[in-house]
């Protein structure tokens, strides 16, 4: 873990809210990141969920799983995700990310982008269950994909490439003033797994 390459990604000054993105491009070394990617692909019980668009039921273009306190759940885009208990190895990851960021997290939405045809469309992680101005800590493993941000009012754009083993924390206000997405890319044939840690009041 390299503690010395922490970056604050500059956001346009029109965003007066001091919303901040913290970024550790080399948070995990290659070996550790490789091991976690393999562990994730092979040992998470991936869900293939569906959404209804214009009357048609279609699978969302990625696999996912939701970790948290069993008996609770999380709902976005009309998809209800019952919480799976944190296995030890994800619990350790959660603690390491808390130590690094100085923030608390007790939930994780994990996404598996099987190749460049998997994606997530423009959205904000702003469900009421996540509370006011939630923080999201995002660990990227596998194929480097472009994380795109778009300001809700000015439409300003920001692209951040997320390398294997990088950690990015979207701070307070980001979900209120920006949307984000991972676009499709025909060139990418390798998988990416993305852990997004959040906090929900018990």
Site residues (CB under 5 A) for Mn ion?
125
CB nearer to Mn ion: give 92 or 123: 123
Torsions phi, psi of 168, nearest 5?
Answer: -130, 130
Minimum CB separation from Mn ion for residue 102, in Å?
Answer: 21
Minimum CB separation from Mn ion for residue 180, in Å?
Answer: 6
CB nearer to Mn ion: give 39 or 179: 179
Handedness of CA 136, 137, 140, 146 (dihedral sign): positive
| Strand (E) or helix (H) holding 30 | helix 30-43
| Strand (E) or helix (H) holding 94 | helix 88-101
Contact 10, 19 (CB under 8 A): no
The CB-nearest residue to Mn ion is: 125
Contact 107, 83 (CB under 8 A): yes
CB nearer to Mn ion: give 34 or 47: 47
Minimum CB separation from Mn ion for residue 13, in Å?
Answer: 24
Question: In angstroms, how far is CA 181 from the centroid of its own chain?
Answer: 10
CB nearer to Mn ion: give 118 or 125: 125
Minimum CB separation from Mn ion for residue 138, in Å?
Answer: 8
């Amino acid at each position: 873990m390299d503690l010395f390459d922490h970056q604050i990604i500059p956001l346009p000054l029109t965003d007066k809210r001091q919303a901040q993105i913290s970024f550790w491009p080399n948070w995990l070394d290659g070996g550790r990141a490789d091991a976690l990617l393999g562990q994730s692909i092979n040992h998470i019980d991936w869900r293939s969920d569906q959404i209804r668009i214009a009357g048609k039921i279609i699978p969302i273009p990625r696999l996912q799983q939701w970790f948290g306190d069993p008996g609770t759940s999380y709902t976005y885009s009309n998809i209800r995700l019952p919480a799976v208990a944190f296995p030890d190895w994800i619990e350790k990851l959660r603690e390491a990310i808390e130590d690094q960021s100085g923030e608390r997290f007790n939930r994780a939405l994990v996404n598996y982008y099987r190749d460049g045809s998997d994606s997530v469309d423009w959205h904000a992680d702003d469900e009421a269950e996540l509370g006011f101005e939630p923080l999201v800590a995002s660990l990227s493993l596998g194929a480097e994909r472009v994380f795109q941000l778009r300001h809700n009012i000015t439409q300003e754009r920001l692209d951040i490439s997320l390398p294997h083993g990088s950690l990015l924390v979207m701070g307070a206000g980001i979900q209120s003033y920006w949307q984000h997405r991972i676009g499709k890319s025909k060139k990418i044939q390798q998988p990416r797994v993305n852990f997004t840690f959040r906090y929900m009041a018990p």
